[in-house]
Structure 1
């Protein structure tokens, strides 16, 4: 079997899909994307075309090594996201060729269902988001069966902000906790928007409300500061969506800066690379909660990983109102979140999905989407 073609599809709202075809008629799908840089990643995928065309798609590790090590400059969001989407599609092909799910080739399933956690704030909203609206979404998530939810703090937050801001952050979490009760887990994402000193202050005030975890209390580029924040609180710390490959996760894990690692399978190097990261985390008794704010192919890849790792905490899910992230209007058989807030482990070959290209054509876009830009009162740039 040989690879014969690569096709890229830009889709609303900010997705990029990849289809890899073979001479035996088997096709595989992946989701190579950096949010807001779809055209950049698409160019990187095309630059790998000479490596892939004519190659055996089942030699996944060999091809990943060739793409990763063959460019001299390694890693980073663009190269690793391109490799991630390609790798997902190769696994999809291999699973279809051998007639088994990907997780069966990675050791078999550890569970028959995957616990999901849904978002409480639309990702597109960068500024103020009334707590009343968040509480309405919380009601909806509970009605949908979710037993865990997450939202991001509202930016911009100054490096040393005032007491009013601290109270606003804590009061929002307290309101959500009161609404959902003690049986539902609530995670909160600081999104790297908060300084170390401000995070320590906020975390102290959040402790009585028992967060499931706090994500990216500081940017993961400074592991020592993440450690300092983690040592200041009893709240579990999570990070990893902006790290690339097992080498990017090494210091975070070895220095025990987090309790939960969050590889993004569209950025970290793909399904098998995330499996290696999960194994590294397991040696430090860390849990895994794969990052996923993207589309149904990304979700399908995550579910294959979730099925076969023993240290899964939960799977992130953006919970879009139109359910396109579950595959509605894209997959011939969309995923379904059941009444217990879980998705059953898919049993189909490869990724376990069948893309409806005719229906998907209605979502085709020009691929342009940009990260919102935020500013402080004095005009200086704030972190998104």
Structure 2
């Protein structure tokens, strides 16, 4: 039996918190995973880990079922327990593939794609905004002052007026050109920016006349990116239906990959009605947990692109069910991803096995130590090659993890001061 001996974590304070999970078995085998950030996340993972010590690490689905049942009082059909579950599931899959000496894509039945296309998230022009677990705006200690978006330090991102940097069309143009120069042929920019976001607390209504700014932003980005580069735009669930319709019309003149999350994820009826009147393809789903949460949207044809985040979706098999259901309905999958190199490599391995995979998000092009964490280049010319290296193909350099660790968090069971 491959008994689990320990489940430990480390947190890197990047643009987001990269919470890395290490699972070790009694015979010394190790698997790596990463969870989508959340308040109190490492404590949840620690308690889940305590429960599964001694379990056979090869029984991945059985362990997942046990953890879901144990966490049912904390929100088994949703909530941040699934961030922890997803990272543990990822580490178990990586462990299983490493023990067999095969890449994860092979363990999952083989790949459709020899490399996984990556799209660069460029934020609102300045490519990086530092956010803590409560979406509080922070200035990372390693970031140059001109490399991050302006905002009210300590305010939560969705507080009115929290993001203070005005939109600069020349910066958008330059930012698009720079990302293309790095090898990316697909980009995403935010459209919920100052001048377009609701101005009153609790409101989801876009300011009057803001459509002009949205159109000007799209045109500047399109011109900067050049021909042959595909674009997507993110709205972060900010709007009501009427505002979403206005925004969709404002960008409909430009061919786009998708318009992402215009409405809150719980507004299923609104998303269905928006899809019926919008000519822009709608993408979304990063905040949905498990295949069943997508089912009404897929059945109604309200999404053209599904965007689950594998760092919190609920595990590999849930994601595979979603990809298969989307494929049956002619929909593409473009996983949302704000992870570090461990979570990004995992998402790439899983995505490579889907015939309807479109592109994987990369949200860390301005984090200077992204590749350093694993000691090698992860993204090559805008894609992640699928190699024959075991597991996810990467493992963290513990000294680098220690260098960029979040103050106050333990590093795989050791205190930071050890």
Match of 1:337 in 2: 380
Q: Contact 1:271–1:302 at 8 Å: present in 2 too?
A: no
Correspondence for 2:28: 25
CA distance in 2, matches of 1:18, 1:319: 19
- Distance change (3 Å), C-alpha of 1:264 and 1:324: farther
Give unmatched runs, 5+ long, in structure 2: 130-148, 150-162, 410-418
Q: Which moved more, 1:80-89 or 1:189-198?
A: 189-198
Give me the TM-score of the superposition, normalised by structure 1.
0.90
Aligned to 1:240: 285
Q: Which of 348, 357, 361 is the matching residue for 1:303?
A: 348
On the 8 A contact 2:185/2:229 being kept in 1, the answer is: yes
Residues 93 and 104 of structure 2 are in contact (CA less than 8 Å); yes or no, is this contact kept in structure 1? Answer: yes
Q: 1:371 maps to which residue?
A: none
1:381 corresponding residue in structure 2:
none
Distance in structure 2 (CA, Å) of the matches to 1:181 and 1:320: 20
Cα shift at 1:251: 1.7
Question: Would the alpha carbon gap of residues 44 and 135 (structure 1) be closer, same or farther in structure 2, given more than 3 Å must change?
Answer: same
Which residue matches 2:190? Answer: 152
User: In 1, Cα distance between the equivalents of 2:58 and 2:170?
Assistant: 51
Matched, 1:199 2:244: yes
**Cα displacement (A) at 1:323:** 4.5
Distance 2:169 2:78 in 1: 36
Task: Return the alpha-carbon distance in structure 1 between the equivalents of residues 352 and 276 of structure 2.
Answer: 31
Aligned equivalent of 2:11: 10
RMSD: 1.7
Unaligned runs of 5+ in 1: 369-384
Provide the secondary structure at the position in 1 that maps to 2:116.
strand
Counterpart CA distance in 2 for 1:210 and 1:143 is 21
Deviation at residue 134 of structure 1 after TM alignment: 2.0
Which string of whole-angstrom CA distances, capped at 9 and with x for unpartnered residues, describes residues 318-340 of structure 1? 14224534xx22103231322xx
What is the SS of the residue equivalent to 2:212?
A: helix
Contact kept, 8 Å, 2:172 with 2:220, in 1: the verdict is no
Contact between 1:11 and 1:367, CA under 8 Å: does it hold in 2? Answer: no
C-alpha distance in 2 between matches for 1:136 and 1:188: 17
* SS of alignment partner, residue 77 of structure 1: coil
Q: For 1:164, what is the secondary structure of its paired residue?
A: coil
Higher helix share: 1
1:187 is paired with a residue whose SS is strand
1:62 alignment counterpart: 62
Three-state SS of the structure 2 residue aligned to 1:294 is: coil
Query: Partner of 1:135 in structure 2?
Result: 173
**Which of 382, 386, 407 is the aligned partner of 1:366?**
407
Q: In the alignment, is residue 48 of structure 1 matched against residue 48 of structure 2?
A: yes
Contact 1:10 1:364 in 2 (8 A): yes
Correspondences of 1:1-384 after superposition (within 5 Å): 1-13=2-14, 14-35=17-38, 37=39, 40-73=40-73, 74-121=76-123, 122-124=127-129, 125=149, 126-127=163-164, 128-153=166-191, 154-155=193-194, 156-157=197-198, 159-325=204-370, 328-338=371-381, 341-366=382-407
Give the total of aligned pairs.
361
Q: What's the counterpart of residue 140 of structure 2?
A: none
Alpha carbons 1:329, 1:360 under 8 Å: kept: no
Q: Distance in 1 between matches of 2:3 and 2:313?
A: 26
Check whether the contact 1:296–1:324 (CA below 8 A) recurs between aligned residues.
no
* Cα shift at 1:275: 1.5
